[in-house]
Chain A
Amino acid sequence: MYLENGSFKEVYASMKPDVLNFVLIGEKNDIDIHRMVDACNKDGYQIAGGIFPMVLSGNGYSDNGIIIKCLKVSEKPAFTHGLDTKDFEPNLPEGQGMISSIILVDGLTKNIGKFLEGIYDKFWNNVEYLGGGCGSLSLQSTPCVFSNEGLFQDSGLIIPLKQKQRVGIRHGWEKIDGPFIANSVEGTVIKELNWKPSLDVYKEVLQGDGVREEITPDNFFDISKGYPFGVTREGLEDIVRDPIIMNEANELVCVGEVANNTAVNILKGDNDNLIESAGHAAEYAASDSDFQSIIVIDCISRVLYLEDDFRNELARIMEAVRKKNPDVVAEGALTIGEISAYPDGFLEFFNKTIVVSAISE
């Protein structure tokens, strides 16, 4: 269910007992989440969700809308706090009766890779994963993940479902140059590529592709949103890393970590390719027609890159969904990083990617 500028009263009235009320909130909506959590705890409602740059429903998207979905959980969601500290240990659910899961994480915190590794280490690909990074488009870190335990920052939440999911993952970005060795990396900051300052190498490649504008900290994201990095994988699409900031030391700050000495490509987007790949992701997810619900986790930077064409991406998704089930509306969030695993691959934190999940009993 989608509520445009939904109020506390409307949201609360839409909630149901005996299910988990999965709530996705656009960051401009001023709903009092603490009040909502208190009310749920008082009335015994289960709740979990996050605050995202935007939410989407059908062909539309909004930064003040609210999506509410009812999910069947196999046990209570498990929160892990302190992801920004080095020594945290992932708090994992028991996993009894868990068929799939939704993972929400503070998209601007550190060590997301370690958190996901802990989950994959226990559940491997015996379960399907869907998830994304919460937070604000301003890239200012704020409390953004919530459950009946409260609203938290630097935390990750695992919602264990007893429902099936079929997940399609695509991004459509293509390599224009590489590989380059990211020989000096600190977390999400790429300092050097091929033993040269990372910005120099990046600029050189972009200039070679026809970018004439001088890259400055102010216009960096406007340009970089069209030229992400890609970590190569044999036989699969690259894992995209989105450079979003050029820091004071002229280093490139990405959403998501890059391991030291990783070989990376520089990718470029083509609107048609991107939109088409979103359609492929939705087609894969919806290929089993018995689904009751579609959740879309799409990267906010695709909106910023595609601009008006983004509605076409959503339309392409809806087209694929409706072909299989005309009554279902795709709903979801525009996130800071996307989480899922390829059918025979790792649980990964992607950027600039679209993840579509078809949920069925």
Chain B
Amino acid sequence: MSSTVHQIALMYELSLTTGRYESPDEIGRQFLKKLLSRKGINYGAIWVLDSIEDQERTFKRLYALPSIEGKVTLSEKSFRQLFQSPGIVETEGSIFPEIQIDGPFSYIKLRDYGILELHSASLPKNISKTSLGPLVEIFDQLAVSLRAAESYQLLKQEIYERKKAEQLLISNEKKYRGIIDNIHLGLLEVDLNEQIQYANEAFCEIVGYTLEELLGRKASEVLIPEEDEEERERVLDQNRSRKEGKYSVYEAKVRKKDGSQVWMVISGAPNYDDKGELIGSIGIHLDISQQKELSRMQSQFISMTSHELRTPLTAITSNIELLNFHIDKEGHPDKDRLRKSLKRMEENSLRLNNMVANILLINQLDNKKIPFDPEQVDLTRLIRDKVIPTMMDSHKGRRINFSEKGIARAVNIDPKLFIHILTNLVENAFKYSPAESPADVDLVYEEDQVSIAVSDRGIGIPQDQLNNLFENFYRATNVGNVQGSGIGLAIVKEFVDLHKGEIKVKSLLNKGTTFTILLRQ
């Protein structure tokens, strides 16, 4: 009677260990510890099925007392033989070759989860079928609990990972909102209907609205000056491009709450939700009104001073011509020396005049005020009739070798700008090569492009300086006493860009330089 009560008490104790713990490890530990202690047996292990490969089952340790490292294996055939019917399996020695303990062992299959292994050398009856038989239902309950705990743990892990990800997302959002709110760049978030979803403090400060005043309103209606149709269309074009997933940076005038306007440079990007669906766009706004004003003042100053400089220069040039006339006419005794001086004055005033003209051009380019009027032009004729005669006239005794390849055709260019480009390149070719050396102009009509190369046999340009060549006021270090301002090539590059063309340069020191213009046609 008493042993039956104790058996029931043990069943009760063991059944409770399977339900109280969330992790399979802890269930296994509590169950095995209690079973071993109550049964007075000293070895037990719960092996979890790890894999079935090549007719062999591999089990890993969930819990074992004493602890056993590594995995154990059992052939599929042995497994089927041993566990073909439910219940307790008794063996002499372990069924796993890896367990080197002699004596009686008992095994219980824990459904598809694994195997419970028990051993006792001095109390074999405590692991016999008779002793363990009443506990079969409890072992089955253990198997269910282990599987349930494993699933619970996986679920818990997934929930934990998800929560962690959510927390990270929230904290990242807070962090970035914090950064955005603290930088002096305005941020505006709109949905696909251009309705404002968010504006940071800096943006509100720039435009003079509160966030509440902006939320839900259509951005173009609030922020673009309604009288400026062209500006409105340009901004709307930009917004439409977001729907195609495009990013861009552009300048725009934005109307403030008080009616005044600010210039902003806007970096616009499409905005996606966590499923990758386009939900609107985000624009980072930098207030450039001050820079715009400074730029306008600078442009005005350059324009004014350049024109002011041209007037005295014209007077100087015409007076030099007058002096030349008088010297010839009146037969001055020292006329050769005087003429030399006048020649130097003439050259320098011409140089100054060119420089002023170039500065004006750069200023116009900066302000996008250079008129660009492309038309179908016979380029061969333009070079033969305009460029070469002008250059031969201004550089007496120099030679230009012109060649033409491919089938000539009309090219879409602005003739005025193109004459400027080519005369500038030929001018440089003459300037930086020996007096007797010619310049080559090679025109090639290809199927989808036209190339014009201007080459000299001059001093060349150091390789490490080729990239800087088209910057304003940049001059190579080997120009020596050759006069120049460093503006010419910058203008050439801008003019080529207006044609959506490309300019390349190849150079070898003391061998010569070739500038090639490529026009896709």
For the complex formed, measure the closest distance between the CB of B290 and the CB atoms of chain A, giving whole angstroms: 61
* Min CB–CB distance A266 → chain B (angstroms): 13
Residue-wise, chain A 128-151 has the 8 Å CB interface mask toward B (1 for contact) of 000000000000000000000000
Shortest Cβ distance from residue B508 to the other chain A in the assembled complex, whole angstroms: 74
Sorting the interface of chain A by its residue count into under 10, 10 to 19, 20 to 34 or 35 or more gives 20 to 34
Interface positions of B from 21 to 66, Cβ below 8 Å from A = 33-34, 36-43, 65-66
> B5 — nearest CB in chain A belongs to which residue?
A179
A262 and chain B: residue at smallest CB distance: B13
User: Which of A120, A235, A239, A341 contacts B125, CB < 8 Å?
Assistant: A235
Interface-central residue, B37, B39, B66, B126, by most chain A CB under 10 Å: B37
Q: Count chain A CB atoms within 10 A of each CB in B12, B34, B42, B125 and give the residue with the most.
A: B42
Within 8 A of B (CB), among A221-259: 231-236, 239, 259
Q: A117-B33, A263-B9 in contact; A233/B38 too (CB < 8 A)?
A: yes
Segment of A30-38, A74-82, A294-302, A342-350 in the binding face: A342-350
Query: Hey, what's the 0/1 contact readout for B1-27 against A, CB within 8 Å counting as 1?
Result: 000011001101100110010000000
Query: Are B33 and A124 touching (Cβ within 8 A)?
Result: no
From A239, A259, A342, A345, B34 is in contact (CB under 8 Å) with A259
**Given known A261-B12, A344-B42, contact A232–B6 (CB-CB < 8 A):** yes
A28 to B230, CA, bound (A): 103
Could you say which residues of chain A place their CB within 8 Å of the CB of B37? 231, 233, 239, 345-346, 348
Choose among B38, B41, B65 the residue that contacts A344 (Cβ–Cβ < 8 A). Answer: B41
Segment 491-511 of B: residues with Cβ below 8 Å from A = none
Q: Are A263 and B12 in contact (CB under 8 A)?
A: yes
Main secondary structure on chain B at its contact with chain A? helix
Contact A125 B131 (CB under 8 A): no
Does B12 contact A181, Cβ atoms closer than 8 Å?
yes
Residues of B within 8 A of A263 (CB): 6, 9-10, 12-13
Quick one: closest A residue to B103, CB to CB? A344
Closest to B7 in A: A234
| A123 touches B (CB below 8 Å) | yes
**Does B123 lie at the interface of the complex (its beta carbon under 8 Å from any beta carbon of A)?**
yes
**CA of A256 to CA of B122 in the docked complex: distance in angstroms?**
27
**A233 contacts across to B, CB distance below 8 A:** 37-40
A272 at the interface (CB under 8 A from B): no
Residues from chain A with Cβ under 8 Å of B40 in the complex: 233-236, 342, 344-345
Q: Which of A122, A179, A261 contacts B16 (CB 8 A)?
A: A261
| Between-chain CB contacts (< 8 Å), 7 pairs | A124-B43, A124-B66, A232-B6, A232-B10, A233-B39, A263-B12, A346-B36
The 6 closest A-B pairs by CB, nearest first: A263-B9, A344-B122, A124-B66, A179-B9, A261-B16, A236-B40
Sample of 19 more A-B contacts, CB < 8 Å, known A179-B9, A261-B13: A117-B33, A121-B67, A124-B42, A124-B66, A179-B6, A181-B13, A232-B6, A234-B6, A235-B123, A235-B125, A236-B40, A261-B16, A262-B13, A263-B9, A263-B10, A263-B12, A263-B13, A344-B121, A346-B37
